[in-house]
A and B are shown apart, each in its own frame.
Chain A
Amino acid sequence: MILRCEGLSLAVPDRGGQLRWLIRELELELAPGTVTVVVGPNGSGKTSLLRALLGLTKPHAGVVRLGDRAVGEHDPRARARALAWLPQRTELAWGMPAERLVMLGRAPHLSALAGPGANDWRAVGEALARVGADHLRERDVLTLSGGELQRVLLARLLATEARLLILDEPTTALDVGHALALLELCRELAANGHGILLSLHELDLARRYGDRALLLLGEQGRWQAGECREVLAPERLAGAFGVEVELRGEQLHFAPRTIPRPDR
Chain B
Amino acid sequence: MSERFAGSRFALALGIGGLVLGLAAFAALRVGPGEFAIADVLAVLIGKLSGAPIERTAEAIVWDLRVPRVLLAMVVGAALGSAGALTQGLFRNPLASPDVLGISTGSAAAVILGFAFGLDEHAAWVNSLLAGLGALTVLGLLFGLTGRRSDLGFLLLTGVAINALVGALATIVLALFLDRTALAQKAMAWTLGSFDGRGFAALAWAGPTLLAGLLAAWALHRPLDLLYLGEETAATLGLDRARLRLVAALVIGVLVGTSTAAVGVIGFVGLIVPHLARALPGVGSAGHARLLPASMVIGAGLLLGVDTLGRALTPLFLAPGALTSLFGGVFFLWLLRRFANERSA
Contact = CB atoms under 8 A, between A and B. Distances in A.
A and B interact physically: yes
Given A96-B287, A100-B3, A100-B287, A87 B239 contact: no
Given A105-B237, A121-B1, A91 B230 contact: yes
22 contacts: A56-B235, A80-B237, A83-B236, A87-B230, A90-B230, A91-B230, A92-B228, A93-B93, A94-B228, A94-B284, A96-B285, A99-B3, A100-B285, A100-B286, A104-B226, A107-B226, A107-B237, A110-B222, A115-B7, A116-B4, A121-B1, A140-B285
Interface of A: 51, 54, 56, 76-81, 83-85, 87, 90-97, 99-101, 104-105, 107-108, 110, 112, 115-116, 118, 121, 140, 156, 160
A79 B238 contact: yes
Interface of B: 1, 3-4, 7, 88, 92-94, 150, 222, 225-226, 228-230, 232-233, 235-240, 278, 284-287, 289
A95 B285 contact: yes
Given A77-B238, A95-B284, 6 more contacts: A87-B232, A91-B150, A93-B93, A96-B285, A100-B3, A104-B225
A85 B231 CA distance: 12
A27 to B, nearest CB: 23
Contacts of B238: 76-81, 107-108
Contacts of A77: 238
Contact of A115 (B4, B232, B235, B237): B4
Contact of B236 (A54, A78, A95, A99): A54
A107 B237 CA distance: 6
Contacts of B285: 95-97, 100, 140
Contacts of B232: 51, 56, 85, 87
Contact of B222 (A78, A95, A101, A107): A107
| Leading 3 A-B pairs by shortest Cβ distance | A77-B238, A80-B238, A108-B238
Contacts of B236: 54, 56, 80, 83-85
Contacts of A112: 222
A104 B229 contact: yes
Given A93-B92, A96-B285, A115-B7, A104 B228 contact: yes
Nearest to B95: A93
Contacts of A85: 232-233, 236
B82 to A, nearest CB: 17
A90 B7 CA distance: 28
Contacts of A121: 1
A97 B284 CA distance: 10
A193 to B, nearest CB: 20
Q: Which of A81, A84, A107, A121 has the most CB of B within 10 A?
A: A107
Contact of A107 (B93, B94, B239, B284): B239
Contact of A90 (B4, B94, B229, B240): B229
Nearest to B231: A56
Contacts of B3: 99-100
B225 A76 contact: no
A90 B233 contact: yes
B238 to A, nearest CB: 4
A147 to B, nearest CB: 19
A118 B4 CA distance: 10
A159 B229 CA distance: 14
Nearest to A138: B2
Contacts of A116: 4
Nearest to A166: B236
A168 to B, nearest CB: 11
B178 to A, nearest CB: 43
B228 A93 contact: yes
B313 to A, nearest CB: 37
A91 B227 CA distance: 11
Q: Which of A81, A93, A108 has the most CB of B within 10 A?
A: A93
Contacts of B239: 76, 107
A107 B235 CA distance: 11
Nearest to A92: B228
A140 B342 CA distance: 15
